[in-house]
Structures are given as structure tokens and as C-alpha cells.
Structure 1
Amino acid sequence: MSVKFFGLLNHEYSSETVPKRKDAPVMDVDYMVRRAKEHEQAGFDRVLIAHHSSNPDGFVLASHIAQNTTTLKFMIAHRPGFIAPTYAARMWSTFDQVYGGRAGIHIISGGNDADQRADGDFFSHAERYKRTDEWLTVFRKMLTENAPFDYSGEFFKTEQSFSKLKPLQKPHFPIFFGGASDDAIQVGSKHVDYWALYGEPLAETQEMISRIRASAQAAGRDPNSIQFVLTFRPVVGQSEAEAWKKADDIIARIKELRGASAGATKGAKPDAVSSQRLRDIAAQGKVRDARLWTEVAAAIGGGSNSTGLVGTAEQIAESLKAYHDLGVTAFLVRGFDPASDIQEFGRDLIPVVNEYIGETDPAVSR
């Protein structure tokens, strides 16, 4: 299995350690284009463009960025139900054709009730996943069916639906998915190509992979047809001591900026099972396994991808190899300084990981 690296593309220059300037625009398009080009040059395969009820539209941003890059692929977050699945399928297929097979969709059913309601969605967690199940059923049929079809469900009903335009990627572009609840696993395992998981200890990661694969098999799918993306915040040093000094500086800066809110759920997704899992993992210690760093997850309440790997590039590569052995084929990595960490990962980390995994796993293509 080959290993791929994904990045995250923010619409502004900020992070947990870099506060947004008061005079900064809500959307800095030039900044996004620069960061996208740096991801491409650094050897990243794909970038995630996230979704939030108050953020700029990710699909439009991805279209602009695709015009200014050549090979970089996309993982555009989408909350199913706000756009009809028939229409969304034509949107993503058009994107895939126009930009040379670089589309990808990341399905987020919604782990935060308040953020869902801000967009006018008042369905419960369970109802959202039932809707996602129907949405993905129709969406995938639109991408692949060669004749018109009807569909009648609780949330969607169509008659003679058909798209003349199909994706350039066959049978279709990759469908990504995230979630750790029982509802998420039951629904996602029926439909998706890649499952995105937060960076957890090896035992917990193995448990999640096993649950998802077992659910896929129960749904009549090949359990190995689902690939896994794991998210980390690497902290790389020339020595292990230097890396931990950087980590200590990062957590000190986060606590300084957050003040009394450190350790609370500010910025977190308190309703999401995946966020609760990170909070539970962080409560068991600052470091899990050899070098899984949990302090940031504890400080921000488990929101977003907030666990790190701390060490030299070789040490981090060894840790990633252990996850690769469990079946993880892609890593979404981002740092705490969006302007410099992309280049550092491309220069110091990605080549070492590719070499390390390639040398220890003959199945990895060079």
C-alpha cells in the first residue's frame, strides 16, 4: 500500500498559536493560493477544505485554487442535505472533469448541534445520519448509473434522475467520511472509500478500523475496500529534545492565548463522539504510546485534529509506519505555523516517511 499525505487549507492565516489579526480579511484568497502551491511543491497529494456555518464556501474556494495549481487534489467538506444529492453529484462531476480528475468530497453529517442549527438544520444526530444514508445512495447512483432511476425515501424522492456528465475518475472520485459514533459507522461503512480518523493511540485506532471493516462486511462490502486517513499535528526536531522543546513552547503559547478557557471546550465539537474520544485519551496522559502528544487536545477540548507526534523525522516516521501496518494509507498532517510548517514537512518529514515505509514495506510503490 502506498502512503499519501494530505494537508489542510485554511481561509486565513491563523492557528491555535497564531491569532488572527484584527484587521485581517475574513477570506484571504491570495494567502490560500500561496499555501496551496506550497502544499503541491512539498509533495502533498491532497488538501482538505473544511466546512463551518460561518466560513466561506469551500466548493467555490476549491475551484479557484484548482485554477492556480496543477496536480494538487481536493477533499472538499460537505454537509449532506443542504444541497440535493442529484445537484451535488453534477457539481462534483463537473469539477472533476474541468480540473483533470482532482475532485474529492468529504462527507460531514454534523457533530455539533449548534453549528447545524446556525445553517437551519434542526434534525437530531440520528436523523442526520439517516439523511446522509439516503443522500449518499442517490449521490453515488448519479455518479455511476447509465440510465435514469427513481428513488423514494424518508428524506429524498426523485424521478428519472440521471446525469449525462460522469466524473473523470472511475468509477468516481473518492468519497471521504468522518465520524466515530455507532450511527456514523453503520452509515459510512455502506458507502465511502476513505475514512478519516483523528490521531488516537494504536490500540484505539485498531479498534476503530476493526469496527468499521466489520460493519462494511455486514453491509455486503469487501471490508478492505475502505481506506483510512489519520490526522496528526507533527512536531519535528533535529533531536528528540529539540522537538519536545518546540512542543512545550506550543502548548505554553496556546494556554497563554486561551487563558482561563484552556482545558474547556472552546473551539471544540462537544457533541461529536470523535471529540469526546480525544478528551478521554488526553485525560489518560500527556504522551500515549511512544510519542502521541495529547496536551493540545486537552487544552482545546478535543476539537478538530489536535493530537501530535513529537520527535525527529525518523522517530515520527517509525510511529507512522506502525499506523500504516494497521491499514492506514494516508496521513493528514498540519502544524501550528501555517506559513512555515508546510515547507518543513515537505523538506524534513515526507521524504523520510516515504523512504522509511518504502524500505520496510515492499508493497509501497516508490
Structure 2
Amino acid sequence: MPVEFIGYVSAREQTEIVGPFGPAVDPVYIESSALLHERGDFDRVLVAFHSNSPDSLLVAQHAASVTTRLGLLIAHRPGFASPTLAARQFATLDNLTNGRVAMHVITGGNDLELQADGDHLTKAERYARAAEYIRIVRREWESSTPFDHTDKFYRLHGANSAILPHKSGSIPIYFGGASEEAIAVTAEQADGYALWGEPLDEAAQLVHRVRTAAGKQGRTLRFSISFRPIIADTEKQAWERAADIEATLRARQEHEREKGGIALDRPGTRPTPETLPTNEGSRRLQAISSRGTRHDERLWTGVAQATGGRWNSTSLVGTPDQVAESLLRYYRLGIETFLIRGFDPIADTVLYGRELIPRVKALVAQEERCSASVA
């Protein structure tokens, strides 16, 4: 299986411990970040979506305009635009970029954050809407003649698009979530399943659940896992950097608390009972981090513990060789895509491209050669 790396491009420089720097939409930062990912041999970059963030499609379009090869995994929430309109928007960008687009459908993990955009559906309703939404999007991408659709959330008559994906068929769709509803939608609709970084045993169990569910639908999926690697010349230095990251984050949280500020999805903000995410993926991270901050030798959940598992927040800590070996263990579970982003976004992107990605690709190639020779 070919290994794939996904990075992260945001509208401005900001993480839990860095920034925010620059305007809310910083074209120069988007350009620099996209180019560094392409030069670092990343396959794609994720462009995130929140209820208060710049539009993900437009940020992705700008990143695409300065690159020639870099793929775009664009987060998209179903329900805020018509599925037929979204299908045309993604197909348009896919043609403008010669087929570099993928869609990451997200349903949201915090009811308050979703309500900021006027979404008051229950979790079960959001997943049912997402499944119907994806069906319509795919049908518009694949149909050469007008079609009608009538179901719980959408009623269409004569839906038709003059613009189809760059390549025949559908644009790749990724989905995530660890609840039964999320896995059901994934099994039926997705091309890729994205999970947050968990210990090997938990990740293996989740991969097995999703693979089994997809198999019952006669489908196979690509699996992606997300980490925030912390690497240094020595293991000791890497763990020291992890401790510094957590200390900086908690100091920022305390500063925000003293100011009385509450942000639903702003990095560096301490979660409250009202803003703590309730989605199953976050609950899993909350449970894992409650057992301690170190797992499987290299997995560190210090930031997940501090943020309540609000997003991709678990790290693999060590030297480049040690972290590459850890990623190989996840590859052996059948996970062939790694979404990696750093706490210092520019410096870490360069570091991953120079020190981590080549090592992982070499290990995977060696693994494949060994498997082929045994077979």
C-alpha cells in the first residue's frame, strides 16, 4: 500500500502555542505554507472548517494557485450549502487544479459551535443529513442527465451540473467520527476514514470496526490517522519540547481565563463544561488522556488532556527515527495515510519534510519488499 502524507494549511499562522499572527486571512502565509508542504513532499494539505473561520474552499483555492502538485483535502460541513451547489463548487476547483481536490465531510463535535451557524439538529439528525447530502453530491458528480431526489432533508427536481470532476467519477470523500452513526455513514459513503491519534490497541479496534462495517457494504476504505509529531535530535530533547509545549499552552489558557474569554474553537483556550466537545472521538481522547499522558512508549496526550480532546491533539515524541518507527506500527494496522501538523507550523513543516517523511517512506518501502519476498 502506498503511504500518503497530509499536512495542514490555515488562513494565518496560529496553533495552540503560536500566534495568531497577521490578518484573519493572510495570503502570504497561505502561499508560504502551501509551498513548504509541496517542497516537503506532502501529498495533500487539510484546510479546516469552523463556524468562525475563513471559508475553506477559498483558502484552498489560494493554496492551489501557488502550487502545481499539492493535493487539497477541504473540510466541508453538510447542510450550510445546497448539496448540488457544493458539488459544483468542488468540481469547479477540481478542474481548476487538474484533479487535486478531496472533500473531508465533517458533522461537528460541539452543539454550541454549530448553533453559531444556525444548525440546531441533533447529532443523529446531522449524521442522517450528512449521508443524504453525500448521496446527492456523488450523484451530481456522476450524472450526465438531470435527476430528481426526495428524502427527509432535501427535495430536488431536475438537478444537473455542467461541471463534473476532473477525472471520471467522484472526487474522494473522507469522513470521520467514532460513533455508530459516523461509522455507518463512513461504511456506506466514504472513500477514506479519518481517526485521531490513539494508542495502537484502540486504533486497531477502531480500524477493525470500520473495515468490518464497510465490508458488509461490499466496500474497502483508505484509513488516515492524525498526529502532532514532536521530534528532536535526541529523545530527551523531544520530551523536553513536549513539556515546554504543554507549559506554554496552560499559561495561555490561564491568561485567557483571567481575561474572562471563552472561545469555542480558538487554540489556546481552556475548555469549559459548556464548550467541552461531546463527540465520540473527543470522548475517546478524554478517556485515553485520563489514564495518563504517555502511551505505547511515544504517544503523548498532554495537549489532548489540556484541550479536552477538542481536535487533532495527540503527539508522537522522539527522534525522527523513533517517530518514523512508531508510524510504521500504525501502517501495519492498515493505516496508510498520516495527517501530521506541528505546534510551530512553519518550522515543523520543514522539519517533517526533511527528517520524518523520507524515513517513513523508506521504512514502508522496506516493509513492502520484505512482504513481497515472503509471498
Shift, 1:268, TM fit: 6.6
Contact 1:199 1:232 in 2 (8 A): yes
2:294 to 269, 283, 287: 287
Shift, 1:299, TM fit: 1.0
Aligned residue for 1:154, secondary structure, equals coil
What corresponds to 1:142 in structure 2? 140
Gaps (5+ residues) in structure 2?
258-267
Q: Does 1:101 align with 2:102?
A: no
**Whole-angstrom distance in 2 between the partners of 1:149 and 1:283:** 50
Task: Give aligned pairs, total.
Answer: 360
Aligned residue for 1:326, secondary structure, equals coil
1:210 to 201, 208, 211: 208
Contact 2:46 2:75 in 1 (8 A): yes
Aligned residue for 1:332, secondary structure, equals strand
CA deviation string 1:299-352 (max 9, x = no partner): 111111100000111111111111111111110101111121110001111111
Contact 2:252 2:269 in 1 (8 A): no
1:181 to 157, 171, 179: 179
> Counterparts in 2 of 1:258-297, with a 5 A limit?
258-259=253-254, 264-265=270-271, 270-297=277-304
**Whole-angstrom distance in 2 between the partners of 1:149 and 1:12:** 41
Shift, 1:164, TM fit: 3.0
**Whole-angstrom distance in 1 between the partners of 2:122 and 2:275:** 19
What corresponds to 1:339 in structure 2? 346
Amino acid of the structure 1 residue aligned with 2:218: R
**Whole-angstrom distance in 2 between the partners of 1:302 and 1:293:** 12
**RMSD after superposition:** 1.9
1:361 to 365, 368, 371: 368
> Counterparts in 2 of 1:126-141, with a 5 A limit?
126-141=124-139
What corresponds to 1:221 in structure 2? 218
CA deviation string 1:130-171 (max 9, x = no partner): 111111111111111233222110101112222232211342
CA deviation string 1:272-294 (max 9, x = no partner): 11111101101111211121011
**Whole-angstrom distance in 1 between the partners of 2:32 and 2:65:** 13
Contact 2:199 2:296 in 1 (8 A): yes
Amino acid of the structure 2 residue aligned with 1:17: I
1:255 to 250, 253, 256: 250
What corresponds to 1:59 in structure 2? 57
CA deviation string 1:8-64 (max 9, x = no partner): 11112121111325xx32221111111111111011111111001111111111112
TM-score, normalised to structure 1, is 0.94
Gaps (5+ residues) in structure 1?
none
**Whole-angstrom distance in 1 between the partners of 2:332 and 2:168:** 27
Instruction: State the identity as a percent.
Output: 40
Q: Does 1:302 align with 2:302?
A: no
Aligned residue for 1:339, secondary structure, equals helix
**CA distance 1:64–1:233, change in 2 (3 Å):** same
**CA distance 1:363–1:3, change in 2 (3 Å):** farther
**Whole-angstrom distance in 2 between the partners of 1:349 and 1:318:** 10
**Whole-angstrom distance in 1 between the partners of 2:308 and 2:245:** 16
Aligned residue for 1:253, secondary structure, equals helix
CA deviation string 1:228-280 (max 9, x = no partner): 11000101111211211211221121122222869952697512111111011
**Whole-angstrom distance in 2 between the partners of 1:56 and 1:364:** 45
Q: Does 1:115 align with 2:113?
A: yes
Amino acid of the structure 2 residue aligned with 1:165: I
Shift, 1:210, TM fit: 1.2
**CA distance 1:211–1:233, change in 2 (3 Å):** same
